[in-house]
């Protein structure tokens, strides 16, 4: 099989890139190793930055998001029994965020792809990217038990943190930066209306807690737990009790709504950046190139930024033979990636309690939160980072 752009992975990055290239008349094929149900049901991100929502609308994938998504103009910081709301549009010249799960984004993009878009092969596992340094790279893949090759002009590695595309970048040119955090997130889905109309990020001596949502009737919540925790170690009641403790406030009007937990999982927290994000005719996008701790809700949004940049570059090359944006791709994306790493790691440090934290560390964290609650400049930096910077 031959195409202009071979895309490995049908997560948000691969699916949106395929859609943008379809729109630009650049033919492309998406290879996805898992089946459609896996991609559409994998519980991950929940918050779309302003620029991401705009990008999905521009790609014709925003209709259900605008109908069912929840626009949020604020987030709450909860610390030392205090509640402080951060007014996002007031601090960023009108930017907000949208609560709309990654599962729904993928469903919308898959539906568009299958309705007249380019080929999307499920259960098609890429085995290797070959010839990235040549003018005719190829993706070897296995589909329905048979090995084949996808001949391309360009390959987009959108295959996530554990994909194969990154392996095609020679060690001699790869630079990897990363850290793991000494804690993880225990996440739950529960059939109960959210306990607050906006997200609540709580810093507590017992650890971090986050109250999020998926809809007006489904709560999404997270607890900081020690690294290596297994979800089965926590009963539903213990989870609700711990959320209640960490979200404690002097405000008597607030209570935690409890309900049946329908999903439970543990996500390790790590940062990871692979430089460069391009090697020859291979481009890395999304989690294939970088991972951020989920505290700042940046992972999915960074993936969108990468593929909007990549689609523009490949389209310019296709239409005008101009490779200038292709040559700038890695530098352009990495600038945004490192800003997201800075923001996400700083917010993680501010809100999570490290196992070796001292009373001095606790006071410094509380001073940092008090500063945000009391100084517009500090609050603005948080709001700008959280709503995301414009994609161009
Ligand atoms: P993805 O990993 O989503 O997609 C890669 C795709 O490639 C997958 O479908 C995979 O099956 C496929 N693939 C892999 N190897 C392949 C091969 N060899 N051949 C073909 N296909 C292959 N981000 C947030 O912003 N907020 C959150 O709350 C949040 N929570 C998260 C929770 C968890 C448990 C995890 C793991 C991540 C979370 N993230 C969160 C980050 C997450 O949303 C990613 O940033 C996002 O999925 C990135 O999208 P992609 O780059 O498309 O990668
Ligand atoms: C989520 O709803 O899954 C979510 C929201 C905000 C975050 C991380 C995850 O920072």
Please tell me the distance between residue 320's alpha carbon and the centre of ligand 1 in angstroms. Answer: 33
Q: What angle do CA 102, 104, 288 make, to 5 degrees?
A: 35
Q: Tell me, in angstroms, the distance from the centre of ligand 1 to residue 75's CA.
A: 25
Quick one: which ligand is closest to 343's CA? 2
* Same domain? 314 vs 170: yes
Residues that are catalytic: 72, 201, 294, 298, 386
165 found inside a domain: yes
In a domain, 326, yes or no: yes
Query: Is 138 part of any domain?
Result: yes
351, part of any domain? no
Ligand 2: residue whose CA is nearest its atom 2:
46
The whole domain housing 243 covers: 182-268+357-387
**Radius of gyration (C-alpha) of the chain in whole angstroms:** 21
User: Do 172 and 186 fall into the same domain?
Assistant: no
Is 344's C-beta closer than 6 angstroms to any atom of ligand 2? no
- For residue 47, whether the previous peptide bond is cis, meaning omega lies within 30 degrees of 0, is no
How far apart, in whole angstroms, are the C-alpha atoms of residue 121 and residue 108? 17
66-95 residues labelled b (16+ CB within 10 A) or e (exposed): eeebbebbbbbbbbbeebeebebeebbeeb
- Shared domain for 187 and 257, answered yes or no, is yes
User: Residue 213 Cα, ligand 2 centroid: separation in angstroms?
Assistant: 8
Tell me: do 243 and 279 sit in the same domain: no
Ligand 1 within 6 A of CB of 157: no
Separation of CA 166 and ligand 1 centre (Å): 14
Quick one: which ligand is closest to 211's CA?
2
From the CB of 298, is ligand 2 less than 6 Å away?
no
Alpha helices in 63-175 (DSSP H): 63-68, 88-92, 102-114
C-beta 194 within 6 A of ligand 2: no
Answer whether residue 93 is part of any domain.
no
Both tokens of 76, joined, read: 């709450």
Task: Assess whether 236 and 248 both reside in one domain.
Answer: yes
Q: Are residues 224 and 255 in the same domain?
A: yes
The pLDDT of residue 390 is 67
Q: What is the CATH number of the domain that holds 41?
A: 3.50.50.60
* Residue 85 covered by a domain: no
**Residues 152, 35 within the same domain:** yes
User: What separation in Å is there between the alpha carbon of 303 and the centre of ligand 1?
Assistant: 9
Distances (CA, A) of 35 to 6, 11, 144, 212: 18, 11, 12, 28
CATH number, domain containing residue 254? 3.30.9.10
pLDDT given at position 43: 87
333 in the same domain as 221 = no
Inside any domain, residue 81: no
Q: Do 325 and 191 fall within a single domain?
A: no
303/264 same-domain check: no
Strands in 124-130's sheet, in edge-to-edge order, are 124-130, 138-143, 146-151
The pick from 45, 75, 223, 387 for probing ligand 2's pocket by mutation, whose C-beta has the most ligand atoms within 8 angstroms, reads: 45
26 CB under 6 A from ligand 2? no
> Are 200 and 243 in the same domain?
yes
Q: Is 300 touching ligand 1 by the criterion CB < 6 Å? A: yes
From first to last of its 392 residues, the chain has per-residue pLDDT tens of: 999 999 999 999 999 999 999 999 999 999 999 999 999 999 899 999 999 999 999 999 999 999 999 999 999 999 999 999 999 999 999 999 999 999 999 999 999 999 999 999 999 999 999 999 999 999 999 999 999 999 999 999 999 999 999 999 999 999 999 999 999 999 999 999 999 999 999 999 999 999 999 999 999 999 999 999 999 999 999 999 999 999 999 999 999 999 999 999 999 999 999 999 999 999 999 999 999 999 999 999 999 999 999 999 999 999 999 999 999 999 999 999 999 999 999 999 999 999 999 999 999 999 999 999 999 999 999 999 999 976 66
Residues 199 and 59 in one domain: no
State the pLDDT at residue 392: 63
| Residue among 103, 195, 201, 212 whose CB has most ligand 2 atoms within 8 A, to mutate | 212
Residue 89 lies in a domain: no
Nearest ligand to the C-alpha of residue 385? 2
Number of independent structural domains in the chain:
2
């Amino acid at each position: 099989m031959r195409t202009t752009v071979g895309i490995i992975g049908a997560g948000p990055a691969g699916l949106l890139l395929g859609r943008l290239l379809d729109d630009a008349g650049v033919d492309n094929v998406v290879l996805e190793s898992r089946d459609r149900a896996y991609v559409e049901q994998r519980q991950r991100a929940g918050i779309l930055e302003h620029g991401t929502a705009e990008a999905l609308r521009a790609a014709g994938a925003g209709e259900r998001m605008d109908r069912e998504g929840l626009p949020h103009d604020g987030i709450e910081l909860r610390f030392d029994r205090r509640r402080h709301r951060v007014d996002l549009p007031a601090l960023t010249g009108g930017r907000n965020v949208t609560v709309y799960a990654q599962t729904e984004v993928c469903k919308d993009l898959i539906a568009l792809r299958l309705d007249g878009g380019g080929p999307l092969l499920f259960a098609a596992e890429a085995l290797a990217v070959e010839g990235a340094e040549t003018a005719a790279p190829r993706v070897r893949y296995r589909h329905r038990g048979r090995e084949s090759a996808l001949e391309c002009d360009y390959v987009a590695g959108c295959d996530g943190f554990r994909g194969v595309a990154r392996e095609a970048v020679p060690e001699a040119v790869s630079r990897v930066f990363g850290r793991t955090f000494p804690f993880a997130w225990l996440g739950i889905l529960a059939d109960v209306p959210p306990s607050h109309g906006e997200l609540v990020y709580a810093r507590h001596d017992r650890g971090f807690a986050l109250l999020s949502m998926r809809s007006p009737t489904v709560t999404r919540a997270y607890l900081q737990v020690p690294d290596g925790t297994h979800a089965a170690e926590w009963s539903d009641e213990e989870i609700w009790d711990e959320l209640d403790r960490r979200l404690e406030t002097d405000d008597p009007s607030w209570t935690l709504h409890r309900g049946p937990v329908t999903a439970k999982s543990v996500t390790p927290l790590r940062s990871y950046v692979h430089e460069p994000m391009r090697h020859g005719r291979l481009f890395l996008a999304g989690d294939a190139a970088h991972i951020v701790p989920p505290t700042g809700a940046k992972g999915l949004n960074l993936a969108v930024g990468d593929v909007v940049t990549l689609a523009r570059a490949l389209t310019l090359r296709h239409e005008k033979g101009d490779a200038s944006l292709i040559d700038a791709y890695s530098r352009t994306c990495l600038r945004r990636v490192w800003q997201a790493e800075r923001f996400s790691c700083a917010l993680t440090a501010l809100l999570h309690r490290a196992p070796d934290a001292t009373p001095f560390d606790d006071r410094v964290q509380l001073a940092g939160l008090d500063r945000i609650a009391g100084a517009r400049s500090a609050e603005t930096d948080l709001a700008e980072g959280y709503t995301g910077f414009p994609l161009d």
